[in-house]
Structure 1
Amino acid sequence: MTMTAADLQALQPAMNDTAPRTFLNVGCGSAGPERLPECLRQPGWRQIRLDINPDVEPDILADTTDLSAVESESVDAVFSSHNLEHLDDHAVPTALAEMHRVIRPGGFLLITLPDLQQVAQWVAQGKLTETLYDSPAGPITPLDILYGHRASVARGNHYMAHRTGFDTQRLGQVLRAAGFAEVRVTADAHYNLWGYARK
């Protein structure tokens, strides 16, 4: 699944397409704009990059659980791609509460992360270390999705370790618990969940 501009317009009809809008890219990593969903690459969107890793040269150096460098209700959207699973499980509510805090009323969170339910099917078949797909970082196995990209961790990038996980039901639960008014979660065909949560 990809989140297109049309998809976002259908979900967010109240947003004015001509107004300048800002989104906070939480856990931006080193990926360029080509890795953003199409809906956030549309004219009028301005990106603020936030990451805990200084090596990726973010606009804001911060932990996902402490967005105090970002004013409350100051961004129209938050995008989080493969970030939440890197937190300790008990820190997930704090991170989502911080994301909720910085979004303006009527704004939204768009989040994507691994779908452990799909991965578990491969594990149950005894395919823990078989390649599921090739990524820019190299081959990805169920073991990588469960615990983090092993090759990156082996090279000393401890930020790549995974500490918690989600299926469709759990992602919906934690988004609603964070206070979002409308929550939609779907799985794609590439072992990912996508969540849209409106404030």
Structure 2
Amino acid sequence: MTEIKLHIGGKEAHPDWKILDVEPRPEVDYVGNASDLSQFEDNSIAAIYASHVLEHFYYGIDNELINTLSEWYRVLKPGGKLLISVPDLKKLCWMYLHPDMSVMDRLHLMRIIFGGQTNIYDVHKVGFDSEILALYLEEVGFTEYEEVSEFNLFKDCSSLRIVDTLISLNMIATKSSS
């Protein structure tokens, strides 16, 4: 059986990764919502990569954020990796408040904080710093996680820089082997 590495919300085809997205496109392998991975069995996915996806789920309404992370945890194999990138709210707020930021720079930062809002899926509903993301990861069962500077897997927001500052919080969480 081929090992599945799932790129949630991916835009760029890659021979080692299968793309799951809510909207069908030629490069999408699986169409579905990131919060419902019922098309995958428990413990069936070797790795999940999600760059700037998690902030699109409500932290309160219907417990959507926890349910989504729980679903990702469910499908990961023991020892499987969750590579997750979210806008770093702490960094973005510091940058926004910097006195040298122009109004256009602040406008760009505001759009990153709240989402591009180009369609109904492109709206941010929660913000994270490393401690807050860790709380959510722990709540669904992850006990091992580490912050990394970049993944260098895809050309996406995980490595986006504004004014030479990386604006994403990138973490690798590992599902326990036991």
* Same-fold status (TM-score > 0.5): yes
Tell me, which stretches of 5 or more residues in structure 2 are unaligned? 151-164
**1:108 maps to amino acid:** K
Tell me if 1:131 matches 2:98: no
- C-alpha deviation, 1:129, in angstroms: 4.4
Tell me if 1:112 matches 2:112: no
Q: What is the TM-score with the length of structure 2 in the denominator?
A: 0.78
Return the structure number with greater relative CO, CA threshold 8 A, min gap 6.
Answer: 2
Q: 1:95 aligns with which of 40, 51, 68?
A: 68
- In structure 2, the residue matched to 1:142 is 109
Secondary structure class of the residue paired with 2:46: strand
Q: 1:194 aligns with which of 137, 147, 170?
A: 170
- In structure 1, the residue matched to 2:145 is 183
8 Å CA contact 1:21–1:76 kept in 2: the answer is yes
Secondary structure class of the residue paired with 2:173: strand
Tell me, which stretches of 5 or more residues in structure 1 are unaligned? 1-18, 34-44, 133-139
RMSD: 2.4
- In structure 2, the residue matched to 1:6 is none
Q: 1:170 aligns with which of 124, 132, 139?
A: 132
Tell me if 1:54 matches 2:24: yes
- C-alpha deviation, 1:170, in angstroms: 0.5
- In structure 2, the residue matched to 1:26 is 8
**2-structure distance, mates of 1:159, 1:23:** 23
**1-structure distance, mates of 2:55, 2:102:** 19
Q: What is the TM-score with the length of structure 1 in the denominator?
A: 0.70
The size of the alignment, in residue pairs, is 157
